[in-house]
Structure 1
Amino acid sequence: MARLAEFFVGSPYLAMSLDQLGREQLRLDLTQFDCMLFVEQLLAMVSADSFVDFADRTRSLRYRNGEIGYCTRQHYFHDWVGSAQAQGVIESAPVWSAQATRNLPLNFMSSHRDRYPALQAPGLFDCIRAREQGRRIEQHYLPLASLEAALPSLQSGDIFAVATRVNGLDVSHMGVLVREGSRLDAIHAAPGRGVMRSRSFVRYLSSVPDAIGAVIVRPQMVQ
């Protein structure tokens, strides 16, 4: 994961990469990314033995039960991770030192319909709203104040997501951790910057607006 992430540093950013015009289809792009497309394709790529296998693994990660559709897409990091864990791609329920837990609603999409072009279609909006109606999740994360203590247990290839205080949303960004000796960096697809390496994960995370900490998950294949 870490070596692949480094290879793509410098690639351009494409906002809402999957929300292009037209019918929902399996979109693959190794030339430009938003943060989720970047991490998702890396995770699919590390264990694929062919392009067809890469496409199939991406589909399985992206869509509920592999069924391609806007309403079956894993729009929230919490759901994406749960699906990846069920498939054995990400380790189940990692516990980090000084981890905290919070209970929060997942309804950002239906509460901000104007930000999602696809939700202007009544059928898609009704489907998303029905899925989010009254939904709450339990999120395990490392608070900002606890990150330094947890750093020694984190390693290259771990996936991070920025836990946010924005109402109705679980995370606001994601990327891959890369260790350089005692220093831990973040490689991520950043708006206006493209795929970049932020030196010092703690310093980077502390600079993200509305961040309260980080959700860390570990791919199964990382040694």
Structure 2
Amino acid sequence: MPFTTSEITTFMKKSARPASSVIRLALIPLCWLLSLTIQAQSGIHRLFEQKMDLPESGSIGTQMLRMSETFLGVPYVAATLEGNPTEKLVCKFDGLDCTTLVESSVALAVAKMENPTFEGYKNELTNLRYRNGDIDGYASRLHYFLDWLYENEKRGRMEDITAKLGGVPYRKEINFMSNHANLYPALAPTEVWEKIKEQENEINKREHSYIPKTEIQKAEPIMKNGDIVAFTSSIAGLDVNHMGVITKIGNRAYLLHASLADKKVILSKLPLAEYVASVPKHTGIIVARLSEPKTHE
């Protein structure tokens, strides 16, 4: 912790050092923290440049998969977007959960093909993560996958292809966050809880599709590298449990994801259908495909 004013005064009385020396000592922890911040910022910029140096692929899906593969082995870190006093854009490459893996990979792929600068990456990440690209408090973040997909499809970044893959109606009341506000400290203010509740009501007015777990293998041949897959939930009020990126090997689809069990980003050993069958709380999948972006000049 930095020195307090009273600690500086006491130290000056007991020390023969001039006040300027004491103040310099007091500034050491602050300088150290600033140095760490600068190192972290330079580290993520260096990693970003390395990712931008990868060869450009012919399609956004392949580019998406290539970017997600650069995170293989990166540690799983839960709740990477939580805990800030005020809502702000969080950019991390050294610790990811399932959501930030997908968002980071999409933003990197789009930046590579449209605007290969760190500002371009941050702009796309902001547009992906926040309603209308506006960071305006906790409720401006797209917390539910169904809402995230709806908003990003509306702006033309991706398409929900679940119905095209043989999906059936996904009828479920979404209200997990408002019903479990005790799990979300940011929902303590009534006005924030009310905004989340309003968003849940809007989600529940829309039509959704999913592919039941027994039908997934039939859809695997139609999936493509870089498709985004989310796993529908048996938990009351919750839309999905998990998400990741599709990797095709022959006609089978595999899952590249940030795994809580393995504590890192991995490629699944089992094909997608078998993986979902092995997880009782997964009832099926929702699949999204990125739209081809404007090629940067």
Residue among 276, 290, 293 paired with 1:205: 276
C-alpha distance 126-92 of structure 1, shift in aligned 2 (>3 A) = closer
TM-superposition CA deviations, 1:34-76 (whole Å, max 9, x none)? 1111101111110112110110011111111111121111001
Pairing of 1:183-198 with structure 2 (within 5 A): 183-192=252-261, 193-198=263-268
Determine if the alignment matches structure 1 residue 24 to structure 2 residue 95. Answer: no
TM-superposition CA deviations, 1:149-196 (whole Å, max 9, x none)? 111101110000001121111111000000122332101112242211
Residue in 2 that maps onto 1:54: 121
Structure number with larger C-alpha Rg: 2
Kindly provide the amino acid, as one letter, of the partner of residue 158 in structure 1.
Answer: D
Determine if the alignment matches structure 1 residue 177 to structure 2 residue 240. Answer: no
Give the structure with the larger helix fraction.
Answer: 2
TM-superposition CA deviations, 1:109-143 (whole Å, max 9, x none)? 01111211212334322332343358514221111
Q: Separation in 2 of the partners of 1:183 and 1:133?
A: 37
Residue in 1 that maps onto 2:230: 161
Determine if the alignment matches structure 1 residue 73 to structure 2 residue 73. Answer: no
Q: Separation in 2 of the partners of 1:214 and 1:135?
A: 17
Higher relative contact order (CA 8 A, sep 6+): 1
Determine if the alignment matches structure 1 residue 14 to structure 2 residue 85. Answer: no
Kindly provide the amino acid, as one letter, of the partner of residue 36 in structure 1.
Answer: T
Secondary structure at the counterpart of residue 276 of structure 2? helix
The unaligned stretches of length 5 or more in structure 1 are: none
C-alpha distance 60-97 of structure 1, shift in aligned 2 (>3 A) = closer
Q: Answer yes or no: is the 8 Å Cα contact 2:129–2:148 preserved in 1.
A: yes
Give the structure with the larger strand fraction.
Answer: 1
Kindly provide the amino acid, as one letter, of the partner of residue 70 in structure 1.
Answer: Y
Kindly provide the amino acid, as one letter, of the partner of residue 50 in structure 1.
Answer: T
Residue in 1 that maps onto 2:156: 88
Moved over 6 A (4+): none
Tell me the percent identity. 34
Q: Separation in 2 of the partners of 1:159 and 1:133?
A: 25
Q: Answer yes or no: is the 8 Å Cα contact 1:104–1:138 preserved in 2.
A: no
> TM-score scaled to structure 2, two decimals?
0.70
Q: Answer yes or no: is the 8 Å Cα contact 2:162–2:286 preserved in 1.
A: no
Q: Answer yes or no: is the 8 Å Cα contact 2:177–2:184 preserved in 1.
A: yes
Q: Which moved more, 1:132-141 or 1:5-14?
A: 132-141
Q: Separation in 1 of the partners of 2:188 and 2:194?
A: 10
Q: Separation in 1 of the partners of 2:292 and 2:71?
A: 20
Q: Which moved more, 1:40-49 or 1:118-127?
A: 118-127
Secondary structure at the counterpart of residue 123 of structure 2? helix
Residue in 1 that maps onto 2:33: none
RMSD value, Cα: 1.8
Q: Separation in 2 of the partners of 1:92 and 1:150?
A: 14
Kindly provide the amino acid, as one letter, of the partner of residue 17 in structure 1.
Answer: T
Determine if the alignment matches structure 1 residue 217 to structure 2 residue 275. Answer: no
The unaligned stretches of length 5 or more in structure 2 are: 1-63
Q: Separation in 2 of the partners of 1:107 and 1:120?
A: 16
Residue in 2 that maps onto 1:106: 174
